[in-house]
Structure 1
Amino acid sequence: MLVQEFLEQSAARLPHKVALICNKQRLTFEEIDKQANRLANALQAQGLERSDRVALYLPNCVELVIAIFAALKAGGIFVPISYTTKQQKLTYILNNCQAKILITSGRQASIVENLVEKVTSLKTIVLTSSIDKPRLKNYLNYEDIYINYSEEAPKKINIDLDLACLIYTSGSTGDPKGVMCDHSNVVFAANSIIQYLGNTETDVVLGLLPLSFDYGLYQLLMTFKFGGTLVLEQGFTFPAVILKRIQEEKITGFPGVPTIYSMLLSMDIDAYNLSSLRYLTNTAAALPPSHITAIRDKFPWAKLFSMYGLTETKRTLYLPPEELDKRPDSVGIAIPGTEVWIEDEAGQRLGVGQVGELVVRGRHVMRGYWNDPSRTAIRFRSSPAGDRLCYTGDLFKMDAEGFLYFVARKDDIIKSRGEKVAPKEVENVLYALEGVKEVAVIGVSDPILGQAIKAFIVLGEVQMTETDVLRYCRTHLEDFMIPKYIEFCSELPKTSTGKIKKIDLN
């Protein structure tokens, strides 16, 4: 199966069903499919050939959804790029993937005009909104495409081993890496997640996260596969508007990240009827147990799925909701159809309670990093059976029943006073302190301790001093885990996907 068939099969089965709600637009599967065909034919007319890269530099919008499927229908590889990406990083990504076509908004005219000279692989720019007197030699106006090109589907030229997309990681530790996802990777991952979430065509899913982020992208892909409806939004900047949207559209699926849930927990939601919500999901970073309890108290009728994944495997683990009471700090078991285990540095599998690197095996293990064999060799290795394994770079431990617990990133471990400290363990304790809204814990250089523990704290409405925090820590943490420094902040730096960006803290 090819990824564009998610849309095509739903359009054949449910042609008149509303597939996408975005702002005031409501499009059916058939309407999206026909528009994607027109754009695909236009891309081929511009010289797009099999496996050429189509860069998509757009915010969450109808045009972005259509462009994703159009690039696939034309035989290309789509490359979604966060709309908040600045010119230097954007130029790097376009050159790295050698993008042949860029689809973007005319509002980015100044950036686009500068790109043409810096990215020699670009042959055509497709603009979703017009600009005055563009100085581009070869560009297409999005609106003209629907006048000049056929709505008939182009002939399929790919197989499921061909790449479907390149998803660039955030690059917080260096240049962004393009994760190569073939059609079979995406199809398998979507099927597995749909299975454990129990999705059906009656589900209405909220799309708050950028489609350039794999968690956001899969809300679109999965919803179109099972024939549901996606309500696409720009983010969670105005929570009251989103809560009203949930009520009006009777949304059943709410995919969030910890920063979104922190905002929700600080709100009074009693004015809204949110009873349609069937499930909530979380990934990107683990929820602290105190937040899990608070979320379940706020939404007692909805199932909460705590999950773990990384772009290199899409999704890896999920915790069945019925296990939350027993092990709220676990991120679960392997997703259906996959296998995971924990290894030490010598490659030996570890048992109950032992800490080591999580290793993943399954059809969702992506193909590697685009044009980067050295980093691919570190992350992706061959198993004795000859298939690909993903070495996650994350430390985990396992309980006697096989449920897994995130400990830390291998490179995040703090070594203080000769002891190893997992930042997450300290963060979980601080999150349980009433009035703490967000926390990030890092290690900073110290001439005596080696590394000292520093905690950055965002408070809610409760007033608190450093003395209050340290008194609480002395009661709940071992001596070597108590922060030496406490810094109160109005907010923490975050990536475009809502992850706390520790690299910007010091």
Structure 2
Amino acid sequence: MIHGAVPLLHDYLIHSAGRLGDKVALVCNGRRVTYAELDECSNGIGQCLVRAGVQRGDRVMIFADNTVETVVSFWAVLKANAVVCIVNPLTKSDKLDYLLNDCRPAALITDRHLHSVFGEPAHMCRSLRQLIVSGPIEDDELSRLPHAIRWETAAERNSVAPARKSIDIDLAAIIYTSGSTGEPKGVMLTHRNMTTACTSIASYLELREDEVILDVLPLAFDYGLYQMLMAFYTGARLVLERSFAFPAQILQVIKDERITGFPGVPTIFASLAELKSLKDHDFSSIRYVTNTAAALPLKHITMLRELFKGARIYSMYGLTECKRCTYLPPEDLERKPLSVGIAIPNTEMWIVDDNDRRVEPGTVGQLVIRGATVMKGYWGKPEATARKLKPGPLPGEQVLYTGDYCRMDEEGYLYFIGRGDEIIKSRGEKVAPKEVENVLMNIPGVKEAAVVGVPDEILGQAVKAFVVIEQGRIVGERQLRMECQKRLENFMVPKSIVIVPSLPRTDTGKLKKVALS
């Protein structure tokens, strides 16, 4: 653990490497990497970025899978006094182009196997001064990329980090999240935002140096990213997997690595519930299990308790704009199974009505969060920022209006009701209906489209689309689905598409989504 002055985020790696240099910090894709190796390799990448002209406050985008290179790059960007932005490797080329134009990064770190996605957008991005490519790549292919060098060239281990210039109110990361407009918004988080959230969560999870934390969630997803941050903060070990696509393989990893921490989402727990012979597996090493969506279904709670006997089970709720809002102490799970809990340490919360007045217990209203975890704002979007950050109860401060509707009981325990901005939470990912609708509307023959979230036992919510076809055109559900698969990440593709003659509207002509299901 780090004591004394408030650290910068990358001090987590530096301090743990200083204390535990020979300890294996990361297990990933068959590789075992020590704290010292991560520290020195990230110094090398950091120095390379500085030589390329990356300056304090510049953005550096990482477009890659959950790999050793992604982990190293994250810390390297921070050491270069820059702002890190990890992008989901499932992102399509058009969206990556948007993100590059919005973020205007000075450098892009990626992998050769994603060349078909990043190639053209990288050429079009005028802000790029360095492109670092991992994986096998031919000389002629590398030479055709702008400002490109191989990962191996950039990553020479170095005992000296770039000169330290950042302070804790500087931006550390921009994490993109979808919004109701359909345009991804970059959540700006300072070093102080992220270190506060990390220490708060680590404290109530009671994390220890001997933890072995499993991470099957994308590092581009803040829930996945914070598993790495908390592991390196405590000097623990992170076991990083690309996904939970092959559950039997992950169960073997749990056994082989003696996993102690298992963060999941409803989709993962639903997949576990469908597996046969679970009782034949040894889960005795698991000390805690976490869930970060809405409250777990009762059948999942029962299943997890039976499966991970003796483990602490945490139901949690949060949003990227402040990382985490609440957690339900494991001892309260039985008496308040539908609650997402109490405010995390060093955070306050309350609920207001439409007139910004605090409401009585049991009344549904908008949740407001106060604390050092609250974001700096949305990158390049002052109007969207002003809708979320408003003056707080004390002079000169701003608090977060989440846009989520909740109620609180007499004891201060929170119950999540719904997301006010229509965001769909599917497979643990946020889906903006407008973004899916925009894709559908661009398909020839489509007249109108509306997308909603419907309850789903496995996904939490499933994406459902209603489409009106232009008169005289023939467009089938299969064609619509294929076009969506070409242009959207997998979790955004509608599970069901219904072709309808018209969409319901109000008397004033506005789309009436409440009539769709």
Which of 131, 148, 151 is the equivalent residue of 1:139?
148
Q: Distance in 2 between matches of 1:498 and 1:396?
A: 26
Aligned to 1:17: 23
Letter paired with 1:405? Y
Q: Distance in 2 between matches of 1:502 and 1:357?
A: 29
Aligned to 2:431: none
Change (3 A) 1:172 1:128: farther
Aligned length: 441
Deviation per residue, 1:208-262 (Å, 9 max, x gap): 0000000000000110000000000011010000000000100000000000000
Change (3 A) 1:30 1:438: closer
Secondary structure in 2 matching 1:144: helix
Matched, 1:351 2:357: no
Aligned to 2:63: 57
Q: Distance in 2 between matches of 1:379 and 1:106?
A: 38
Matched, 1:323 2:332: yes
Aligned to 1:97: 103
Aligned to 2:168: 160
Aligned to 1:398: 408
Q: Distance in 1 between matches of 2:419 and 2:497?
A: 16
Secondary structure in 1 matching 2:105: coil
Aligned to 1:289: 298
Task: Give 1:497 deviation, angstroms.
Answer: 9.9
Letter paired with 1:319? L
Change (3 A) 1:504 1:284: farther
**Structure 1 residues not aligned, in runs of 5+:** 414-422, 432-436, 446-494
Aligned to 1:341: 350
Change (3 A) 1:501 1:224: farther
Task: Give 1:291 deviation, angstroms.
Answer: 2.0
Aligned to 2:476: none
Which of 107, 110, 114 is the equivalent residue of 2:113?
107
Secondary structure in 2 matching 1:259: helix
Q: Distance in 1 between matches of 2:461 and 2:188?
A: 31
Letter paired with 1:107? H
Task: Give 1:411 deviation, angstroms.
Answer: 4.1
Which of 280, 290, 302 is the equivalent residue of 2:289?
280
Letter paired with 1:261? F
Which of 18, 41, 45 is the equivalent residue of 1:35?
41
Q: Is the 8 A contact 2:180 2:421 kept in 1?
A: no
Secondary structure in 2 matching 1:275: coil
Deviation per residue, 1:252-273 (Å, 9 max, x gap): 0000000000001111312221
Aligned to 2:131: 125
Letter paired with 1:2? L
Task: Give 1:400 deviation, angstroms.
Answer: 1.3
Letter paired with 2:38? I
Task: Give 1:301 deviation, angstroms.
Answer: 1.8
Deviation per residue, 1:156-196 (Å, 9 max, x gap): 11000000000000457511000000000000000000000
Change (3 A) 1:18 1:356: same
Q: Is the 8 A contact 2:463 2:492 kept in 1?
A: no
Aligned to 1:77: 83
Letter paired with 2:361? V
Q: Distance in 2 between matches of 1:444 and 1:131?
A: 40
Q: Distance in 1 between matches of 2:415 and 2:407?
A: 5
Task: Give 1:502 deviation, angstroms.
Answer: 8.7
Letter paired with 2:189? C
Task: Give 1:440 deviation, angstroms.
Answer: 3.9
Matched, 1:311 2:320: yes
**Structure 2 residues not aligned, in runs of 5+:** 1-6, 424-451, 467-487, 499-516
Matched, 1:44 2:50: yes
Q: Is the 8 A contact 1:382 1:389 kept in 2?
A: yes
Secondary structure in 2 matching 1:294: helix
Task: Give 1:127 deviation, angstroms.
Answer: 0.4
Secondary structure in 1 matching 2:280: coil
Q: Distance in 2 between matches of 1:296 and 1:342?
A: 32
Task: Give 1:397 deviation, angstroms.
Answer: 0.8
Aligned to 2:229: 221
State the Cα RMSD in Å: 2.5
Q: TM-score scaled by structure 1? A: 0.82
Deviation per residue, 1:348-388 (Å, 9 max, x gap): 10111100000000000010100000000001112132222
Secondary structure in 2 matching 1:127: strand
Change (3 A) 1:6 1:272: same
Q: Distance in 2 between matches of 1:497 and 1:313?
A: 26
Task: Give 1:304 deviation, angstroms.
Answer: 0.7
Change (3 A) 1:498 1:404: farther
Q: Is the 8 A contact 1:257 1:282 kept in 2?
A: yes
Deviation per residue, 1:385-421 (Å, 9 max, x gap): 22221111111111111111011112459xxxxxxxx
Identical aligned residues as a percent: 45
Change (3 A) 1:63 1:353: same
Task: Give 1:114 deviation, angstroms.
Answer: 1.0
Q: Distance in 2 between matches of 1:340 and 1:355?
A: 14
Aligned to 2:260: 252
Q: Distance in 2 between matches of 1:40 and 1:501?
A: 40
Q: Distance in 2 between matches of 1:381 and 1:323?
A: 32
Q: Is the 8 A contact 2:368 2:399 kept in 1?
A: yes
Which of 242, 264, 275 is the equivalent residue of 2:250?
242
Task: Give 1:70 deviation, angstroms.
Answer: 0.2
Secondary structure in 1 matching 2:390: strand
Q: Is the 8 A contact 1:20 1:28 kept in 2?
A: yes
Q: Distance in 1 between matches of 2:220 and 2:239?
A: 16
Q: Distance in 1 between matches of 2:242 and 2:462?
A: 29
Task: Give 1:503 deviation, angstroms.
Answer: 10
Aligned to 2:392: 383
Change (3 A) 1:209 1:438: closer
Task: Trace 1:471-486 onto structure 2 (pairs within 5 A).
Answer: none
Task: Trace 1:187-202 onto structure 2 (pairs within 5 A).
Answer: 187-202=195-210
Q: Is the 8 A contact 1:257 1:498 kept in 2?
A: no
Aligned to 1:178: 186
Task: Give 1:23 deviation, angstroms.
Answer: 1.6
Task: Trace 1:360-371 onto structure 2 (pairs within 5 A).
Answer: 360-371=369-380
Task: Give 1:151 deviation, angstroms.
Answer: 3.3
Secondary structure in 2 matching 1:396: strand
Deviation per residue, 1:45-76 (Å, 9 max, x gap): 00100011100000000000000000000010
Matched, 1:86 2:92: yes
Task: Give 1:107 deviation, angstroms.
Answer: 1.9
Q: Is the 8 A contact 1:56 1:81 kept in 2?
A: yes
Q: Distance in 2 between matches of 1:371 and 1:307?
A: 30
Q: Is the 8 A contact 1:107 1:131 kept in 2?
A: no
Aligned to 1:420: none
**More displaced 10-residue stretch of structure 1: 99-108 or 338-347:** 99-108
Task: Give 1:501 deviation, angstroms.
Answer: 7.1
